[in-house]
Structure 1
Amino acid sequence: MNITRSRPFGQNYAFVVVAAIFLALLAAAGARSAPGVLILPLEEHFGWGRSVTALSAGVGIFLYGMVGPFAAALMNTLGLRRTVLGALALMSLSAAASSFMTQPWHLLLSWGVFSGLGSGAVALVLGATIVNRWFVRNRSLMMGLLTASTATGTLVFLPVLAWLAQEGGWRPVVIAVAVVLAAMIPVIWLLVPERPASIGQLPYGATAATVEAPHKGMVTAALGTLRRAAATRTFWYLFATFFICGFTTNGLVGTHLIAMCGDMGIPEVQAAGLLMLMGIFDLVGTTLSGWLTDRYDPRKLLFVYYGLRGLSLIYLPFSDFSYYSLVLFAVFYGLDWIATVPPTLRLATEAFGERDAPVVFGWIAAGHQMGAASAAFLGGVLRDTQGDYLTMFLLAGSTGLVAAGLSVMMRRGHAVAQAA
């Protein structure tokens, strides 16, 4: 259902929409960070090995990515508001239901399947769709800000969730996540219209209305866009680098850092504080990345981001895990945790056009989550078989250096033809 009544602020209402979507993405990011907090409490309460919880996290991350392109297409067919409201409800219900789990398959179903399906619609593709609908000017800056909500979600939720886990075990964690997600439903319902035209406005910075071509069905649109994009080399470069992006961020560090610090005798709350510190610096770094992307060659920015990330991951297992070395890692790594998103979206928009870019970016983001799911599962397996995370971090750091090389091999070009 579209909102047709007028809203205040004229074109500046776009910033109200961004603020509401920022909060939704923040809440969803907090939910996606919860499995990293749950690993140790579930191991202690149920005796489940890390490969069990890592499998659940990996399935959730994988589905989160695979749903993305279909969610972007669904926003164009069923509607953005309906898609996001349904996704928030599904995530909240699955988190609440998990408070009754007693078997590993309960964890897999709630935090793997249902959470993954819901979170795929409240993710990077949502930010890309909002930015392309509501902004003509400052798109990269706004995308950087929305992307930074993931870091802010980590900043706000992880220390609280870690404290809840430390004081009360795993059950208060899942209940808290369910409540926060449910609270976001009225926020989106009240503040986010379907598109600027729904309230008689133009996108921010636009001087004339644009006429959108009619959209096909969800599956047809998602697969048709993929077919056109996959015929280009640019798509595969972006897909590969974003696979590595996921492999080196939420799949590895987001899922396993707290458990890795636990192996080194560092309490959960203190380890969550490191992720909080990363969140602070990533909020700055990703927003700054959006500003830089509006002004500089995005390929060169990606080269710097991936190169620095790879070096920081190689450094960590050889550090002494002292307070100062961990803070150094958190600051250095946090500055470019997901700073790669604004330049990646800009390259996708240049190559595939404004209408197809959100769906194409959804497929590229699917690559991100495939990489993250691989790292989440592989990290758990290597930890169980080798007793530490050394090999996993060296592997992840090396892939970061590979992504840096791939970034400068891309060509910038005009949008490919879009089907009417």
Structure 2
Amino acid sequence: MLQNVHRAWWVAAAAFLALIGAAGFRSVPGVLIDPLHQEFGWSHGTIGSAVSINLLLFGLFSPFAAALMDRFGIRRVLVVALVFLATGSSLTVFMTHPWQLWLLWGVMVGIGAGSISMAFVATLVGRWFVEKRGLVTGILTAAGATGQLVFLPLVAHLATHYGWRVPALLVGATALAMVPLAWLAIRDHPHKLGLEAYGATPANPTPPEPRGEGNAAAVALGSLREAARTRTFWLLAGGFAICGASTNGLVGTHFVPAAHDHGMPLTLAASLLALIGLVDIVGTIGSGWLTDRVDPRYLLLGYYFLRGLSLMILPSLLAPNVQPSMWVFIIFYGLDWIATVPPTVKLCQDRFGTSGAIVFGWVFASHQFGAAIAATGAGIIRDVQGSYNLAWYIAGGLCIIAAALSIMIRPNPVPEPELVPEEEPEPDPVSM
């Protein structure tokens, strides 16, 4: 029976596991803010700035990673990224100064994680699937939530009982363990195995193999230059920047210390954040299913608007113990956590054609730019005011703006002009 399963599903399964391993790095910073503050005396703003560097590079490197995957292949880029993650996390156990945190956790882990981001998902799904792209995008996006679920309670327990260095080594070892799986199971394109993409038909064929030529940086920057000429790109980028600010940057980084400020035990707060990740698995996969059937602009409108309302009421829910209202927030917000990814990927694919993965990489870069600002900004608000309340209110208001930006995207399913470098015209033999 297993031999009848299309190879695309095995490739997606291996990518899912690799994404789970990479997600461990995104679960650690929020749990380790207080332990690092207690050991080194570093302020929340100082530690938050390292997270900001990580989030910013995580996004900025994403389109370049997509171009590198076109140039050198998905598998090679993925393996190098996992090695970067393992090295950067493991070496943090020797740090004694903030600049070392910025270099290792900010730069090295940021670049490694940026190579295994949503642009990786868009690239892999775009090559291996013609049918069910929205659903598979949702499943792979949920891998990040699953990784958060797996690592957060464990990281919090280890940090509480054994110190922060043990979980740092754990996530490094996990990334290294994913290297053999990535090398053996991931393939760059179905044609290399003599296969067609899942659901490919003569009318809707397998996307062509990338040419693997040219400078990857030039291709990525050229795609940005062309996409930036369109109104759709800026609306998507603006909304996704707010998405990053209201998820990874704020909740993902500061929910645990914010709950701890209200007397909630560190392990309990981390478990609640992990539960958000568990609920998000349902939300993101469901969003992928809906994206195949509903106008993605309407999905984004609903997701951002409801997220904004939930963040505005969060300050009134934080307490030493978990009240029923907090459980409602966890479920409601969790369903919306990264449900925005499948419809955003779909809009990039529809509007920008075969360049959609690289363009989405730049849209995702804006997501991480917003996350970086929120990670540092919320830390500064906490240092100055003694609480995170203002940060929650600002994020909620921004989400309402993101909802408005999403519905302003024109309902035009026709792709934007292809983002390919202009070629010099061949000389006319008659005139020679």
Same fold (TM over 0.5): yes
Q: How far apart, CA to CA, are the structure 1 residues paired with 2:365 and 2:318?
A: 35
Check if 1:129 corresponds to 2:127.
no
Structure 2 runs not aligned, ≥5 long: 422-432
**1:264-322 deviation line (CA, Å, top 9, x unaligned):** 11111100111111011100000000000100111111111001100010000122534
- Tell me what 1:188 maps to: 182
Shift of 1:326: 2.0
- Tell me what 1:335 maps to: 335
Q: How far apart, CA to CA, are the structure 1 residues paired with 2:3 and 2:378?
A: 48
TM-score (norm 2): 0.93
- Tell me what 1:4 maps to: none
Q: How far apart, CA to CA, are the structure 1 residues paired with 2:255 and 2:207?
A: 46
SS of aligned partner of 2:336: coil
SS of aligned partner of 2:86: helix
RMSD between aligned residues = 1.3
**1:151-203 deviation line (CA, Å, top 9, x unaligned):** 11111110000000111111101011111000100010111112111211110
- Tell me what 1:389 maps to: 388
Q: Counterparts of 1:365-404 in structure 2 under 5 Å?
A: 365-404=364-403
Aligned 8 A contact 2:74 2:186 in 1: no
User: What code does the residue aligned with 1:329 have?
Assistant: F
Check if 1:64 corresponds to 2:58.
yes
Q: How far apart, CA to CA, are the structure 2 residues paired with 1:187 and 1:211?
A: 26
- Tell me what 2:77 maps to: 83
Check if 1:228 corresponds to 2:222.
no
Aligned 8 A contact 1:60 1:112 in 2: yes
SS of aligned partner of 1:193: coil
Q: How far apart, CA to CA, are the structure 2 residues paired with 1:307 and 1:115?
A: 32
Shift in alpha-carbon separation, 1:237–1:247, aligned structure 2, 3 A: same
Shift of 1:217: 1.7
Shift in alpha-carbon separation, 1:9–1:195, aligned structure 2, 3 A: farther
Shift of 1:69: 0.5
Structure 1 runs not aligned, ≥5 long: 1-7
Shift of 1:325: 2.5
- Tell me what 1:176 maps to: 170
- Tell me what 2:241 maps to: 243
Q: How far apart, CA to CA, are the structure 1 residues paired with 2:117 and 2:291?
A: 20
Q: How far apart, CA to CA, are the structure 1 residues paired with 2:85 and 2:389?
A: 33
User: What code does the residue aligned with 2:341 have?
Assistant: V
| Equivalent position to 1:298, from 296, 299, 316 | 296
Q: How far apart, CA to CA, are the structure 2 residues paired with 1:330 and 1:290?
A: 21
- Tell me what 1:405 maps to: 404
Shift of 1:212: 4.0
Aligned 8 A contact 2:126 2:207 in 1: no
Q: How far apart, CA to CA, are the structure 2 residues paired with 1:166 and 1:19?
A: 33
User: What code does the residue aligned with 1:272 have?
Assistant: A
Shift of 1:344: 0.6
Aligned 8 A contact 1:347 1:412 in 2: no
- Tell me what 1:216 maps to: 214
Q: How far apart, CA to CA, are the structure 2 residues paired with 1:210 and 1:85?
A: 24
- Tell me what 1:284 maps to: 282
- Tell me what 2:346 maps to: 346
Q: How far apart, CA to CA, are the structure 2 residues paired with 1:181 and 1:196?
A: 26
Aligned 8 A contact 2:296 2:344 in 1: yes
Q: How far apart, CA to CA, are the structure 1 residues paired with 2:3 and 2:40?
A: 53
Q: How far apart, CA to CA, are the structure 2 residues paired with 1:277 and 1:210?
A: 37
Determine what percentage of the aligned residue pairs are the same residue.
47
Check if 1:41 corresponds to 2:35.
yes
Shift of 1:213: 5.8
Shift in alpha-carbon separation, 1:273–1:18, aligned structure 2, 3 A: same
Aligned 8 A contact 2:128 2:198 in 1: yes
**Which 4+ runs in 1 deviate beyond 3 A?**
8-11, 208-213
**1:378-416 deviation line (CA, Å, top 9, x unaligned):** 010110011000111000000011111111111132112
Moved more, 212-221 or 38-47: 212-221
Q: How far apart, CA to CA, are the structure 2 residues paired with 1:345 and 1:320?
A: 34
How many positions carry a matched residue from both structures? 412
Shift of 1:29: 1.2
Q: How far apart, CA to CA, are the structure 2 residues paired with 1:213 and 1:203?
A: 14
SS of aligned partner of 2:116: coil
TM-score (norm 1): 0.96
Q: Which has the larger radius of gyration?
A: 2
